Amino acid sequence: MTFTDYIFESSSKLDKTAVIDKTEISYHEIYQGINYVTNLLVNKACGKNDSVLIISENSLFFIKTYFGVIKSGSICVPVNPAISINDMEYIIKSLNIKMIFVQERYKEKINSLIEEDIEIYTENELFNLKYIGEPEVRNDVDLKDDTALIMFTSGSTDKPKGVMLTHYNLIYNTSSIIKYLKLTKGDRIEVVLPFYYCYGTSLLNTHFRCGGSIVINNRFMFPQTVLEHINKYNCTGFAGVPSTYQILLRMTNIKDIKFPSLRYITQAGGRLPEIFISELASILGKTDIYIMYGQTEATARLSYLPPDKLKSKLGSIGKGIPGTKLMVLNKDGIETGVDEVGEIVAEGGNIMTGYFNDKTSTDKVLKNGLLYTGDIGKKDEDGFIYIVSREKNIIKSAGNRISPKEIENVIVGIKEVVECAVIGVQDDILGEAIKAFIVLKSNRMNINSKYIIDYCKEKLPNFKVPKYIEFLTELPKNSSGKVLLKALKDREKMK
């Protein structure tokens, strides 16, 4: 058995719609494509220690190759098509890649990196092969020990880190998410998050397991289409990172639209300022809002805040998902008391086995079976957890430890502000001074640095008021929509 077998245990022969991507595609058709991929890999004698690269945006091609590779028992390695040539070369060489599935539009990019012994298949090339029928796959896959998926994430070094996830990790996390989101075959989610990102992958995994369906939208640069598609396709769910919702709230007419089919939305991938959460709750009415927290190292999800606790526990990431324990530990490894700050630590079957070929980094975050997240948090009297900041992002100014999130929450309270990111910059007197990067609805807004600073002085103590303000047309983000604080810090170092 593999993770793919678990996903399609009850749905492989269904004629029901699984995917809407301009047209409707059934589970049966998708599963046929998965078997094409698996048959090819079996025919090529790809084993469970062989890694197969996938370079594709959200598409049927991604879905079929992703599940097909895992079904074969080989290791699936999906990567961002926009990844740098250097990182691509590093991944190909370090994993000794011998086979790549790539969308036609990205084939030229990697041609210069390909050696003679590496096989490449585009969609047309793959499905012109005559590998049909139920494949004869090997049965020696160990769910708990064998790696099914390696997802690369940026690390503290100049090389991406490969998070190794087993079939069991994927099953464990998928089952847990389905349980707390109460997903059924009647659910349909619009997907704007990339599948090569763990949050996006989890949407695919969970909805296919429960027999639901997904709507692919690769046009978030036109955010109004997102809202239109929710109603056009009667979507019951939607998922986004903070910037997703900030853009929808500030750059669309979401306040003027009703979403009768929308049962729930989820938010993860960073902390969404509380003012935006409250706005969403006000606009969406009876739609359930799940605030969640996770890491690639935890397959996807670690915690969630139940919708009925949204107002009373505003700002919290909730508690551990079913089957996962989330704790706040001090430097001695002892659980902290109420409102005492410590590191957020997790235990459960969703925790990775480690980083590929990187024991040093693995040992820093995996200790005694626990995942040390690197996030600093605290818990309240009811055990609900609140993130203070990542340790590396804490600003140390004139002897004060300042969380950037507190300042960002204040600044985005200005209705004309779409996004804000706060960092510490080198200062000879303070050690670090506070600088805020701000995106406005329009460059013509009558808001300047003095306006922002005066506003902050009314809401914050003086030592938390930004010393510097810079207006940008957009914040630097990765392909998943997460703000790249490192890019902002590097920008400052170059001045």
Tens digit of each residue's pLDDT (9 = 90 or more) over 245-264: 988 998 899 999 999 999 99
What's the confidence (pLDDT) of residue 132? 57
Give the pLDDT band (50/70/90) at residue 155: very low
Domain finish residue from 93, 124, 141: 141
Q: Are 376 and 394 in contact (CB under 8 A)?
A: yes
Give the span between the Cα atoms of 259 and 265, in whole angstroms. Answer: 11
Give the pLDDT band (50/70/90) at residue 483: confident
Same domain, yes or no: 291 and 424: no
In a domain, 436, yes or no: yes
Give the pLDDT band (50/70/90) at residue 86: confident
Q: What is the CATH number of the domain that holds 131?
A: 3.40.50.980
What's the confidence (pLDDT) of residue 138? 62
Same domain, yes or no: 373 and 423: no
Of residues 134 and 282, more confidence is placed in 282
Give the span between the Cα atoms of 486 and 391, in whole angstroms. Answer: 14
Same domain, yes or no: 190 and 299: yes
Same domain, yes or no: 179 and 309: yes
Same domain, yes or no: 386 and 406: no
The DSSP H or E segment spanning 76 is: strand 75-79
Give the span between the Cα atoms of 393 and 396, in whole angstroms. Answer: 9
Same domain, yes or no: 308 and 179: yes
What letter represents residue 316's amino acid?
S
What's the confidence (pLDDT) of residue 354? 97
What's the confidence (pLDDT) of residue 157? 46
Q: Is the pLDDT of residue 154 over 90?
A: no
**Mean pLDDT rounded to a whole number for the chain:** 91
* pLDDT tens by residue, 341-357: 999 999 999 999 999 99
Q: What is the CATH number of the domain that holds 248?
A: 3.40.50.12780
Same domain, yes or no: 102 and 222: no
From 304, 119, 78, select the one nearest 201 (Cα to Cα). Answer: 78
Give the span between the Cα atoms of 184 and 179, in whole angstroms. Answer: 10
The pTM (predicted TM-score) of the whole model is 0.85
Same domain, yes or no: 333 and 200: yes
Count of the separate structural domains present in the chain: 3
Q: Tell me the DSSP string of 240-308.
A: E-HHHHHHHHHHS-GGG---TT--EEEE-SSPPPHHHHHHHHHHHTTSEEEEEE--GGGSS--EEE-GG
* pLDDT tens by residue, 33-63: 998 899 899 888 888 999 999 999 999 999 9
* pLDDT tens by residue, 190-224: 999 999 999 999 999 999 999 999 999 998 889 99
Between 269-273, 315-319, 391-395, the lowest mean confidence (pLDDT) is in 391-395
The domain of 206 spans: 173-390
Same domain, yes or no: 92 and 118: yes
Give the span between the Cα atoms of 322 and 482, in whole angstroms. Answer: 26
Domain finish residue from 141, 163, 197: 141
